Amino acid sequence: MNPQPVPFASDAGDLLTVEQAADRINMSARYVRRLIAERRIVFYRLGRSVRIDPVDVAALIASGRVERITSASVWNELRTVA
């Protein structure tokens, strides 16, 4: 059984603490800890400390993007329902 190599941030100094990640997304540290507990964001455990790569914070933000609605998209979705 060969372990897979784990991708790591380019420099450990680039990793964010929970509080820094929370500041970056304008949310509470409690929210970021919940994301970590639910495994909804990638994180690194260094001893007892938890660190988050800024790239993973950006990916979390991008995954929550909702596109605007246009009349064409509404009609296309209505056609698939009928």
Is the residue at 5 inside a domain?
no
Identify the pLDDT of residue 11: 63
Is the residue at 6 inside a domain?
no
Is the residue at 7 inside a domain?
no
Identify the pLDDT of residue 32: 98
pLDDT band at 13 (very low <50, low <70, confident <90, very high): confident
- Domain range for 47: 12-81
Mean model confidence pLDDT for the chain? 87
Compute the average pLDDT of residues 15-21.
97
- Residue listed under structure tokens 């450990």: 12
pLDDT digits (tens, 9 = 90+) for 45-71: 999 999 999 999 999 999 999 888 888
- Residue pair 39/59 in contact (Cβ under 8 Å)? The answer is no
Is the residue at 66 inside a domain?
yes
**Rounded distance between C-alpha atoms, residue 16 and residue 56, angstroms:** 10
Is the residue at 77 inside a domain?
yes
